[in-house]
A and B are shown apart, each in its own frame.
Chain A
Amino acid sequence: MDIGNSLYLVAPEVFLTVSSLILLLIAAWGGEKSARLVTILSAAALFGASILLMVLAHMPEFKGGVYAFDCQYSMDAFGSSAKFLIYIAAIVSLMIAPRFFQAGGKYRPEYPVLILFACVGMGMMVSATDMMTLYIGLELNSLSAYVLASFIRTDVRSSEAGLKYFVLGALASGMLLFGISLVYGFAGSTSFAVIGETLSGDLSTGPLIGLVLVLSGLAFKISAVPFHMWTPDVYEGAPTPVSTFFASAPKVAAVALTARVIIEAFGGQTSAWQQIIIFVALASIILGAVAAIGQQNIKRLLAYSSINNVGFLLIGLAAGTPEGISAMMFYLAIYVAMTLGSFICVLEMRDKDGRPLESLSSLAGLSQTRPGLAAAFAVFMFSLAGIPPLFGFWGKFLVFDAAVAAGMLPLAVIGIAASVIGAFYYIKVVKIIYFDDPSGEIVATGHKTENGLIALMALFVSPLGYLAIPFMAPITNAAAASLF
């Protein structure tokens, strides 16, 4: 395949790269004045990339997925659907940012540019079919993320979050790289397809350690237990729009990447990875549920909630079947909506002077001062807990269905029983919002963009979301099918 054709296949990434470089120049020359313009243009670039993505995905000749750059990159339904989610999450993170940063001081145009670079990295991650592409994509995303976490550099917590994220992220990257080199040493190639062919049959200790290290590095990126420690600190310390971004887009990218590595590179080694994934899934569900109970900070609580949800996502992956991957993708879509929604609700928690509030107690009696916001918050909480008829239930339903179909009944039973523990802290938030007397801390009026986004997400998560199943199911099924 010639280079022109390959470039054609990676059009969304090329487009985003070029746009972000141009925007970087605009930001450099325009300074802080250009912040708003750069944000709008970045959102437009992401929008354009999504359209390119859809055009490419719908071309009949690319239906089954095509490799670019000598099997280093794959343009297929799986990558496209993941990228679509990533772009949506990134656009939302851009829309909510200016108001937040302006309230706390200055909004700088680096924010949208960094988000764009992260998106390029994430696009490469989910389409990578080679360990090198994977690593480069991952690092591009991570480096942008480290800077984003400490974006308010005058704020101690923000700088601390960035530093913590960087140190631990570097450690994880090291583990990942070591794992990759071990796997390369035994398989003789970094290409997923070749690794998959070479490492068949019984796995010797060397590549097994490689597999474990690769999975550990990836577990860090998806913040799964036991590599989750950074998550609450980073989500709490980072500016809220950045936490929103971290909890949504990179999570999609990392989970999708993990799925691709496991299915394409280690697909023949089910017994080796399956027990790791099962352990990680259950540990994440249980720890995410138990550790959240004592939290007083809503962002920390949501961080544990995302750890908890990653556990459920991994149950779909643990099944290792096309149904499981399809369920995982569906869950991801719902998860992104719920996470974006609840983080924007957090963003709405401001006092009279526009300072952000983060403690759970400031939510007290919100239902009497801001009934709409309170209702949306409750919808997201019940949905995250997986209580029907909200749409969050459907994600859990699908992953458990896949687990049961794969014959993993104990996993399903333990997982779903542990979800009840998680329900406790979600309904605790609802209790604070609805049952407690108003604290009156949160200002009574909202912001148009944020309200609109919250309403949109809440509608998707509401029972109306079930009507989307016939449209979304074929997409996730096609995405899953393209991996096998």
Chain B
Amino acid sequence: MNQLDFPILSLMMGLPMLAAIICLFLNAQAARWLALVTTLVLFGLGVVLWANYDIGGPQWQYVERSDLFGNFAWALGIDGISMMLIMLTVFLMPICIGASWESIQTRVGEYMAAFLFMEVLMIGVFAAQDIFLFYILFEAGLIPMYLIIGIWGGANRIYASYKFFLYTLLGSVVMLIAMLWMVQDAGTSDIPTLLNYDFAPEAQTWLWLAFFASFAVKMPMWPVHTWLPDAHVQAPTAGSVILAGVLLKMGGYGFLRFSLPMFPEASEQFIWLVFGLSMVAVVYTSLVALVQQDMKKLIAYSSVAHMAIVTLGLFAFNRQGIEGAVVVMLSHGLVSGALFLCVGVIYDRLHTREIDRYGGLAINMPKYAILFMLFTMASIGLPGTSGFVGEFLSLVGLYKVNSWVTLVATTGIILGAGYMLYLYRRVAFGELVHEDVKAMPDLSAREMALLAPIAAAVMWMGVYPESFMAPIRGDVGALVARIDRAAPEGDAHLKMGEAKAVTQDEVHGEAH
């Protein structure tokens, strides 16, 4: 079975499922507590998962499998990358529940049930070892997210929920056809087997495009990112946190788990497409973020820019790039989640996300200002925070492949500093001109308890990233070895300069 002798992954999916069903029948307060306790227990299980993970051991751990469904199996198992993403999920979930503690007052039981169901699906997506199981869990996320945005969202929630649902559905359905074809060609739906199956290069092109359609929307990449700002702005705070923190990572995870190792040749063939779209995304969405008046929209656009760094790193085909991309995913999950929480904190007080309505918060909300500053810096990628590690590694990896793309991508960091600092200045600095803003109290104990753990994790990842990189090192190595045969040649051909030939005369002359 596995190192723990019990199916911990199934337990981690079964527990929240059960709690979700019970939540439907509970009153508001009981549902809140049940959801909080469940997510905390899951976080505990996540820690057990990490503590018992055998770094350097077999690639797939905690493997379990039962052929329940005929055509596909209930097959779970994780490698280091999956484990880190599951950790991210179980870490953010209690925070999401906490963030909704007071701001959600209507239909609390259903709300908590939707979140717990989301958690089941997110853990399942990262742990699935059967390609059809993956698809089912990947797609199923649409239903709870549609309800979360539509029921508890802002004023324009209906439009946002439709757009979210249809965009992501359209992206994914073609991937299903590709999966059906792959399974018929390879004769198995087992992901570890498929990872080492060589599809014919001509077929890879089409399969890659089908998968790309899905993951590019999920990621989201320019120009199919437009659902994201709408969804973020309209979703309740916790919905935004989970959307930015985990759901976007599914796109990156998909590239990492499917596109790259299963279709290495096609990935190389379409590298121009990925690089091109990502370059546009980095520059364009950063510029768009600069002119936003709505805080959530600004952070949403910054997410698109950060995700573009992830795709650039992934398609660098080398260790630095891919490791960097994974770290950016983890870091962005924490930082953007925290930023949405920060927005949520002041939104709960003033009920507006308009940047101009704030100002001078550093005066009356010093604790808030400090934490917000930390996350702003982490988003910019200041050394010492998690943002720096990932972005630096991604860009190093990318530089090995294409220095021009790296040049453009790096401007994203500068622009990122631009829009984040501009946001921070407008919100936190300056004079307290608005009377209602002056009356806003500083962070409550609950809000502190939500933001402090993220702050700690962000610093930890920034100062000692080894904790997070050790588990993924072996898996990235395996991935790099797998795709190495298709790796593009870098554009920088470094050569050792030849020493100038020393003539007899000079030698002679020196002697004098």
Contacts and interface: CB of A to CB of B under 8 A. Distances in A.
A400 B71 CA distance: 13
Interface stretch (B177-185, B340-348, B472-480, B481-489): B177-185
Contacts of B146: 427, 430
B284 interface: no
Contact of A389 (B68, B137, B173, B176): B137
A208 B161 CA distance: 49
A423 B177 contact: no
Contacts of A435: 150-151, 157-158, 161
B70 A473 contact: yes
Given A405-B184, A435-B158, A416 B173 contact: yes
Contacts of B176: 397, 400, 416
User: How many A residues are at the interface, by size bracket?
Assistant: 20 to 34
A469 interface: yes
Interface in A448-484: 466-467, 469-470, 473
Contacts of B142: 387
Nearest to A396: B176
B162 A427 contact: yes
Contacts of A413: 174, 177
B150 A387 contact: no
A400 B107 CA distance: 38
Interface in B115-155: 132, 135-137, 139-140, 142-143, 146-147, 150-151
Contacts, number: 91
Max chain A Cβ within 10 angstroms of own Cβ: one of B147, B158, B176 = B176
A92 B184 CA distance: 38
Contacts of B177: 400, 404, 409, 412-413, 416
Nearest to A405: B184
A339 interface: no
- Secondary structure dominating the interface of B: helix
A393 B170 contact: no
Interface residues of B, number: 34
Interface in B161-191: 161-162, 165-166, 169-170, 173-174, 176-177, 180-181, 184
Contacts of B69: 466-467, 469-470
A399 to B, nearest CB: 11
B496 to A, nearest CB: 52
A30 interface: no
A431 B146 CA distance: 9
A431 B68 contact: no
B166 A424 contact: yes
B144 to A, nearest CB: 11
Interface string A400-413: 11001100010011
Contact of A423 (B140, B158, B166): B166
B361 to A, nearest CB: 33
A397 B172 CA distance: 13
Contacts of B151: 434-435
Interface in A159-183: none
Contacts of A367: 107, 110
A444 B24 CA distance: 18
B135 A431 contact: no
A13 to B, nearest CB: 32
B143 to A, nearest CB: 6
Contact of A420 (B110, B132, B161, B166): B166
A132 interface: no
Nearest to A388: B136
Given A413-B177, A419-B173, A435-B158, A387 B147 contact: no
A404 B178 CA distance: 9
A413 B170 CA distance: 11
Contacts of B136: 388-389, 393
A393 B137 CA distance: 12
A404 B162 contact: no
A416 B172 CA distance: 10
Interface in A377-406: 382, 387-389, 393, 397-398, 400-401, 404-405
Given A466-B68, A470-B69, A420 B137 contact: no
Nearest to A402: B180
Contact of A400 (B162, B170, B180): B180
Contact of B180 (A401, A420, A427): A401
A345 B490 CA distance: 62
Contacts of A28: none
A282 to B, nearest CB: 15
Contacts of A467: 68-69
Contacts of B170: 417, 420
Contacts of B107: 367-368
A400 B162 CA distance: 25
A409 B137 CA distance: 24
Contacts of B181: 404, 409
A69 B58 CA distance: 65
A419 B176 CA distance: 12
Contacts of A427: 146, 162, 165-166
Interface in A199-223: none
Given A405-B184, A423-B166, A470-B70, 13 more contacts: A371-B24, A387-B142, A388-B139, A400-B176, A409-B177, A409-B181, A416-B177, A420-B173, A431-B150, A435-B151, A467-B69, A469-B71, A473-B71
- Across the A-B interface, give the 9 residue pairs with the lowest CB-CB distance, nearest first: A388-B136, A404-B180, A389-B140, A469-B70, A416-B173, A435-B150, A420-B170, A388-B139, A469-B69
6 contacts: A388-B140, A412-B177, A424-B162, A435-B150, A470-B68, A470-B70
